[in-house]
Structure formats: C-alpha cells, structure tokens
Copies of this chain bind each other. A is one copy, B any other.
C-alpha cells in the first residue's frame, strides 16, 4: 500500500488525460500546426505532468515518509533524503 493507492482511479484518469494531451500534440504536428501553438500545448502538457508529480509527492510525504518518521531511526533519515532527491529531480526539469 502507498499513499496514492486510495486515489488510484483518479490518478489513472489523470494520466490518461495526459496521454490524450500527448496524442493531441501528434495531431497538431500531423496537421502542420504553427510551431508556437504546438509549443503552447507542450507547456500545458508539461504543467499537467508536473502537478501530477506534486500530488504524488504530497501523498508520499504524508504516508511513506510519515510512517518512517513515526518509526524513527535511520529509516526516517533515508526516506527524507530519498524524497529530497526526487524533489531535486523535479525542480531541475
């Protein structure tokens, strides 16, 4: 069980919408749409992916990381470090 398990259906719906946005990009390119309009859709799709990631991160902090902290010991420091590395990857993309 993970923090997101309880919201799995919503999460999968969100990911299917993002999949649809990427297919929408393919249609725009296929129809020779003006570059800037394609780039606007790229930014919208990137934003959707980002906010999906932020939701998953919050669930993770409030479940997996919180559980490790409640148990205490080295497990807590490892979980916080692991989450911080994931946050760094998100910040740098």
Contact = CB atoms under 8 A, between A and B. Distances in A.
Interface in A1-44: 1-5, 8, 11-12, 15-16, 18-19, 22-23, 25-26, 29-30, 32, 34-36, 38-40, 42-43
A4 to B, nearest CB: 6
Query: What band does the interface of chain A fall in when counting residues whose beta carbon is under 8 Å from B?
Result: 35 or more
Nearest to A42: B53
Dominant secondary structure of chain A at its interface with chain B: helix
Given A19-B19, A46-B93, A80-B58, A26 B53 contact: no
Q: How many copies does the complex hold?
A: 4
A42 B50 CA distance: 8
Interface in A36-64: 36, 38-40, 42-43, 45-47, 49-54, 56-62, 64
Contacts of A56: 35, 38-39, 42
